[in-house]
């Protein structure tokens, strides 16, 4: 594996942290986030082949400036949920059509809506976006909600697990105790089949090192026992074959530039040597996998907000050989 700084051209863009970064085709859509002074609602597009930045003109109902929201690709649409700016927290849903660059605020059917939040996660599975955790400015959260996106003319929310949901099945641990992760934000969530993999995060006091798996088909939480652990918050986690590639984040003491690999078959961590000139330690950045490269944009190291683009070349044969099809047995 090899780090290099990407040679970018095109429109200048702001240094950003707590923005979203979502791949549609060969384009990386970067939305919102903040620098050291303000939050934004700009949309930037990076051509991941040419490393060319553009700022397409958008129309419609543009979201307010946001940070720590989520952005989930559903076909060629991007679905933004939650986030905030300063003391404000939101639970609004916005949709961007990446074909005509039109923003809209779709109609939500029914009266069930997740509480306002930011620093949550959102993952797409079978016409649903599964939102977990985050914080509302008063406390950290550990509930799960599903946004039904099968019809963009009528979206609807349903509580799946957590304090807001008394009706959904609950995992019982030993002694009938309710078993679920501690409330948290700035964690990561990835979907593998029907399994949602939650790693790390913070409740504002503690920086977590735990890994949890939630099966959205059976409504069950399981805690994963891992011999060696790493504390992380505000990191990124990207599925590459049967590995979860975790980049950077904060370990409770300092910002890191580590690349950690969680082997999802053996459920063990692997710290790999990475060559080249690495980016400085940071959190609140974004990362996507495109064409055997992990692309990382922006972030924050406690002092500086970054606007740089980094490439982590994956010696792909080393990861894909083991694995195009695997299941998580926890």
Residue 40: name the closest of 58, 59, 23, 17 by CA: 17
pLDDT at 250 exceeding the cut of 60: yes
Q: Quick one: average pLDDT of 262-289? A: 94
Q: What is the pLDDT of residues 288-307, one digit of tens each?
A: 999 999 999 999 999 999 99
Separation of first and last alpha carbons in the chain: 29
**Residue 119: inside a domain:** yes
In 3-state terms, what secondary structure has residue 320?
helix
How far is 121 from 144, CA to CA, in rounded Å? 10
The pairing of strands 121-125 and 188-192 is unpaired
- Count CA atoms within 13 Å of residue 65 on its CB side: 13
The per-residue pLDDT of the chain, averaged, comes to 92
CA dihedral 221, 227, 228, 229 (to 10 degrees): 20
**Residue 29: inside a domain:** yes
Say which DSSP state 213 is in. E
CATH code of 182's domain: 2.120.10.80
**pLDDT confidence bin for 322, thresholds 50/70/90:** low
Structure tokens at 320: 């894909």
Say which DSSP state 281 is in. P
**pLDDT confidence bin for 319, thresholds 50/70/90:** low
How far is 102 from 14, CA to CA, in rounded Å? 22
**pLDDT confidence bin for 173, thresholds 50/70/90:** low
How far is 69 from 246, CA to CA, in rounded Å? 19
Q: Quick one: average pLDDT of 221-234? A: 94
Residue 144 pairs in a beta bridge with 132, 161
Q: Quick one: average pLDDT of 137-145? A: 96
Domain count for the chain: 1
User: CB–CB of 207/182 below 8 Å?
Assistant: no
Residue 176: what are its φ and ψ, rounded to 5°? Answer: 75, 15
Q: Quick one: average pLDDT of 93-103? A: 98
In 3-state terms, what secondary structure has residue 148?
strand
**Residue 328: inside a domain:** no
**Residue 30: inside a domain:** yes
Q: What is the pLDDT of residues 22-75, one digit of tens each?
A: 999 999 999 999 999 999 999 999 999 999 999 999 999 999 999 999 999 999
* Residue found by looking up tokens 């970064």 in the block: 21
Q: Which domain does 213 fall in, by range? A: 2-320
How far is 26 from 52, CA to CA, in rounded Å? 11
pLDDT at 174 exceeding the cut of 70: no
pLDDT at 239 exceeding the cut of 50: yes
* Residue found by looking up tokens 């055997």 in the block: 292
Structure tokens at 274: 């990475």
**Residue 50: inside a domain:** yes
**pLDDT confidence bin for 325, thresholds 50/70/90:** low
pLDDT at 320 exceeding the cut of 80: no
pLDDT at 90 exceeding the cut of 80: yes
Q: Which residues contact 256 (CB under 8 A, 6 or more apart)?
A: 232, 235, 248, 249, 250, 281
Report the largest interatomic distance among the alpha carbons of the chain, rounded to a whole angstrom. 60
Q: How much is the pLDDT for 161?
A: 86
**Residue 49: inside a domain:** yes
The pairing of strands 220-224 and 211-215 is antiparallel
Helical residues (DSSP H) of 114-176, grouped into ranges? none
**Residue 327: inside a domain:** no
Q: Which residues of 151-180 are buried (b: 16+ CB within 10 A; e: fewer)?
A: eeeebbbebbbbebbeeeebbeeeeeeeeb
How far is 306 from 53, CA to CA, in rounded Å? 16
How far is 14 from 262, CA to CA, in rounded Å? 32
**Residue 326: inside a domain:** no
Helical residues (DSSP H) of the chain, grouped into ranges? 317-320
């Amino acid at each position: 594996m090899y780090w290099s700084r990407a040679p970018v051209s095109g429109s200048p863009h702001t240094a950003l942290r707590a923005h979203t970064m979502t791949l549609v085709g060969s384009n990386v859509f970067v939305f919102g986030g903040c620098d050291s002074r303000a939050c934004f609602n700009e949309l930037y597009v990076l051509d991941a082949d040419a490393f060319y930045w553009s700022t397409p003109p958008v129309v419609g109902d543009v979201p307010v400036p946001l940070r720590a929201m989520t952005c989930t690709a559903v076909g060629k649409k991007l679905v933004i949920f939650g986030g905030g700016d300063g003391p404000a927290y939101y639970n609004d849903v916005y949709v961007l059509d990446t074909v005509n660059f039109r923003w809209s605020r779709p109609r939500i059917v029914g009266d069930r809506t997740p509480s306002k939040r930011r620093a949550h996660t959102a993952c797409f599975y079978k016409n649903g976006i599964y939102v977990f955790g985050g914080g509302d400015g008063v406390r950290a959260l550990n509930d799960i909600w599903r946004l039904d996106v099968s019809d963009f003319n009528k979206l609807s929310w349903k509580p799946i697990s957590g304090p807001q949901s008394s009706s959904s099945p609950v995992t019982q641990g030993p002694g009938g105790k309710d078993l679920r992760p501690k409330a948290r934000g700035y964690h990561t969530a990835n979907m593998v089949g029907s399994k949602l993999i939650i790693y790390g995060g913070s409740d504002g006091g503690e920086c977590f090192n735990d890994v949890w798996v939630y099966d959205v088909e059976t409504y069950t939480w399981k805690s994963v026992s891992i011999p060696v652990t790493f504390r992380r918050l505000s990191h990124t986690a990207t599925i590459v074959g049967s590995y979860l590639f975790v980049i950077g984040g904060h370990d409770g003491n300092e910002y890191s530039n580590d690349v950690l690999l969680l082997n999802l078959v053996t459920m063990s961590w692997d710290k790999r040597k990475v060559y080249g000139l690495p980016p400085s330690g940071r959190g609140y950045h974004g990362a996507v996998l495109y064409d055997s490269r992990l692309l990382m944009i922006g972030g924050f190291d406690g002092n500086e907000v970054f606007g740089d683009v980094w490439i982590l070349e994956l010696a792909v044969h080393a990861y894909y050989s083991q694995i195009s099809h695997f299941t998580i047995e926890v």
